[in-house]
Structure formats: C-alpha cells, structure tokens
Structure 1
Amino acid sequence: MDETRKPRAVVALREVAVHRRTTGQEIVLDGINWRVGPGEHWALLGANGAGKTTLLRLIGAVMYPTTGTVEVLGDRLGRIDMRELRARVGLVSAAQKVPLDATAHTVVLTGATGTVAPLWGKYDTATRERAHVLLAELGCKELAERRFSDCSGGQRARILICRALMADPSLLLLDEPFNALDLPSREDLVDSLCQLAADRAHLATVTVTHHLEELPPSTSHAYLLREGRELASGPADSVLTAQNMTLCFGRPVHVARHDGRWYARSGR
C-alpha cells in the first residue's frame, strides 16, 4: 500500500529512547521505531528487564520518552493532556486497583469514569446496560452480580477487559493478562480475545507476555525486545521463529505452530 494511503497509525514511535536518570543515565530503551495500525494485534515479548513495561507505559500515555516522538491515537506526547489521552486507551493489568468487594457489573461500570470507586451519579441507564452487554460479550454474563473478589483469576481478567472496553477505546493494552492462570482459565481468555478481535475490526491490541502458548490465533504481529532495543518486529509468522526467539531469550528455543497457536520449548 502507498504510504500516503495508509490509515492513521494507532501508535507511532520514532527514534524513541528512555534513560533512567536515577541510576546514572542507564539506557532502558534506545532507537525504538514502531507503528501499530488499526485492527492489528501485537504480541510484545522479551526477557525480564528488556524494556517491555517501559514501552507499554509510553504507549499507555503514562510517561514521556527521553528523546524521540511518541504518538498515540493521533496525538503526540507532550502536546496533549496525558490524562485526556489515557482516558481513550484501554488498559488491563493485574496491578489495577478496583473495588474488590464490588460486583463484577460495578467493576465494569468504573471503566466508564476511569475511577477506582464507582461514581453512581455518572452512570445512566445506557451506561449500565452497556456494562451488561460487555460482560455477555466476554462470556461473563452470569458473573454480573458476583463479587469481584470471589471470581477466579480467569474471570477477573475477562471482567477487567470489559472494564477497559467501557470507554470504547481504539487501543487496548494487555499487560501479562495470563499471569497465574490455570490451563482452563488461560484457554477461556484466549477464546475471548479471539472473539474480541473478530467482533471489533478496528480495535488494535498490544499484549505483553512471556509465553508463546498464551498468544491467541488472532495475533497478527509481534515485537521482540532485547536489552532495550528492537530485535525483530512485523508479521507474527516471520518474527516468532526459533532463530529470533533464541536470540531474544539467550538460549536455544524451538518454536512450532499448530491450529493457529504457537508453542515453544527450550532446547538442550
């Protein structure tokens, strides 16, 4: 496609670097160039300390780069109120603060206001109904009146996705959503992410994970980080190879794909 005819990028990073000044100008990220388009589903992988969290914080409008430019949803960091931009980006993280004793429906409602506690005066009938619709879409309809603290890890992950979708974002960031899930919960979440990709053609997602087995078949692209620099990026099939994964994690890795899913194991 002609570059001038490409749809506007959801995320665009150009020559981005991040230096951690508190530790003597340590370079956390360097020379990062990345474009995420509408409807693309990216996996972000790398060893611990590779810079994944920092990169996610940049595109989540939580921090500024030291050098380079970061554009999210058409707005450049430094030229827009970060709070306003964050309200248009969906984030799912196990570290998110939500009212644990509230029902799943109430937790989802808080996504409409971007608050920890519900602001009941802000939720009209349409907003409340939208929360129910999203719970049904993610296979959590029966959990609407269950306390969030009583839900399983997999159920919580899907409820948090519903919460993130309340603002109808064009970009959804998933920060290790499979962390500590058992096998059935992982597979339920994989199915939900596939359905989400099928139902929302223009939604772009970025999923941080350590395990190829967690990637849904809807994953279209992958970005590999090694020591703060891009190792490889592009279509998932060309990036998630044994050679690239071996370089990324610093030990032999065998990669296979079956029925649209990736599998990896360390070699001897």
Structure 2
Amino acid sequence: MNDRKRISYNEVRRVTNLIELSNVSLKRNGNWILKEISWNIQKDQHWVLYGLNGAGKTALLDMLCAYYFPTEGYVSVLGKVFGRDYLAEKLRQKIGLVSSRLQQKLYPSDTAYQIVLSGAFASIGLYESPTDEMRQKAIGLLEELQCLSYADRIYETLSQGERQRILIARALMADPELLILDEPTTGLDFLAREQLLQALETIHLRTNAPTFLYVTHHVEEILPIFSHTLLLKKGQVFDSGLTSEMITTEKLSQLFECDVNVTWKNERASIRKRLVNR
C-alpha cells in the first residue's frame, strides 16, 4: 500500500513540475561545473535564470535539453526522467530554444520563411516537404511577430533583432511546452531589445503559451511576466523564489559580493554599482 501511494505521488509531482532537479551535479574534464542544483519549475510559472558570465547557466541549459546527463542527482524534464525514459531528440522537439549558438548553426543562405518552417521538424535546414497547414502556421507566426515583411529575405542579410524574432517564430512552430531564451537580446540596441521583449509579452498572452525560461545577466530585461528567478553563482544555486524577492539591493549585493543598488519602476528593474564616498 505504501509503495502504491509513493508511485501515485511521484506521478502527480511529474505532471505538476515541468522541470525537476534534485541535488544535481555535473563534472566535465575533472571539474565540477554544477554542484547540488535543486530546482522545480511548474507549468504556470515563468522563470528567469540570472547570473554573471561563468555562473554555469550554459551548462545548466545543456542539461535541460539533454545534451548532458548529470554526474549525480535526479533530473526530470517535461515528465521524462533522465537515465530511465527515452530522451534526446524527442524531448528536444518539445523544447523551443532561442540562442546565439543555434543561430550559428543555421544555413545563412536560407530565407527567414524557410528557417521558421524548419522548426516544425526541429532540423537545421529544410529537408522535408512542409504541409499546407505548416506553411499557414509559419505565415501566421511571421505575422504575429511582425516579421512577414522580410519573410523572403536571406537570413544573413537580416539585422540581429530581426534574426532573433525569426528564431522565436521557429521555436514556436512545434508548439513547445517549454521555451528557453538564452540571452536573446545579445547584440541588440535599445529599441530592438524592447521590440523583442514586447514580442515575448504578446506570446505570453496566448491561450497555449509555453512556459518561459529566460536566461540573462541584465536585470533590465526581466519583464513582469517572469514571476520567479533562480540566482546562479559559481555553478550553485545562490537562491531562488519570487522575482520581487530575488531582484533586490540586498540580495544582489550578496550575490555579486559588492554594493549595488536595485530600483524598480513600472515593474522593471535597473541596477547600479553604489559609489563609495571618500
């Protein structure tokens, strides 16, 4: 009877938690990259993964996408338990990924429209014939993200902001349960950054919107839609919880080990290093 109760509880827990990590550590080339990470993401939550360069954000993302398996600990992503359930390609098809590393793998001679269509197959390049339904869906996403005017342009001729919106449209083609945005505003000017963030707010309003995981080291990019934040430092969880409780002067001064000042205006944060009076 006790075993049945435990199994039933675990099944319910996996449905509730899109991502569950328990005491997860990762060793690469003899070095611990991640150490004792515990983190749960529920379906109705949108998270920010925040930390300085070198904090371990990329390694953690690679693990969530099943490119790495943990050296120690328990990992479940979208109900699939690492080391037990079939993963890799099938899991990645349920995860939308927007990253500069993905951008570098794409064929620059493909048109924006072709790149969006390739998202239906989770492929680099378009090798299969899209259905009429896929084509209409791609056109709809291009229109929704205000990309339709350059749908037939070659990808390498687009601005960085235009490329990022194309990647978001591509990621949405497969109706992912989880949308990972890995520092998507890198290289964007102020206006392009705000246009991209506005596009995310639009996607968030969809009835079938995916759960967002937004990776950044700029608090200015944290939108009100991101209810929770995980602070990562040197491969370990520094703290996690409600964004309003994580992005504060006290908490980030502790994280950075220097005095900073965090201010909030119109539900957006900004951060400055405190000047020391002499």
User: TM tier, shorter chain?
Assistant: over 0.9
1:138 paired to 2:145 = yes
Alpha-carbon distance between aligned partners in 2 of 1:218 and 1:263, rounded to the nearest angstrom: 16
Task: Give 1:84-123 correspondences, 5 Å limit.
Answer: 84-96=90-102, 97-121=105-129, 123=130
Query: Match for 2:221 among 211, 214, 233?
Result: 214
Structure 1 residues 168 and 201, CA gap change in structure 2 (3 angstroms): closer
Tell whether the 8 Å contact from 1:40 to 1:203 is kept in structure 2 after alignment: no
Q: Percent of aligned positions with the same letter in both sequences?
A: 37
Amino acid at match of 1:98: L
C-alpha distance in 2 between matches for 1:108 and 1:73: 23
**SS in structure 1 at match of 2:120:** helix
Q: 1:48 to 1:171 in 2, by over 3 A?
A: same
- Structure 2 equivalent of residue 78 of structure 1: 83
Trace 1:192-211 onto structure 2 (pairs within 5 A).
192-200=199-207, 202-211=209-218
User: Structure 2 length normalisation: TM-score?
Assistant: 0.89
RMSD (Å), alpha carbons: 1.5
Pairing partner for 2:36 from 24, 28, 31: 31
Aligned residue for 1:160?
Answer: 167
CA deviations 1:109-150 (Å, max 9, x no partner) are: 1111111111242x0100011111111122212221122112
Q: Distance in 2 between matches of 1:175 and 1:65?
A: 20
| Consecutive unaligned residues in structure 1, runs of 5 or more | none
Q: What CA deviation, in whole Å up to 9, does each residue of 1:154-190 have, x standing for no partner? A: 1111110110111111001111101010011000011
Report how far residue 81 of structure 1 moved: 2.9
Number of aligned residue pairs:
261
**How far apart are the structure 1 equivalents of 2:217 and 2:51?**
7
- Which of 174, 177, 194 aligns to 2:181? It is 174
1:43 aligns with 48
Partner residue of 2:5? Answer: none
Q: Which residue of 2 aligns with 1:14?
A: 22
Bigger Rg, which one: 2
Give TM-score scaled by structure 1 length.
0.93
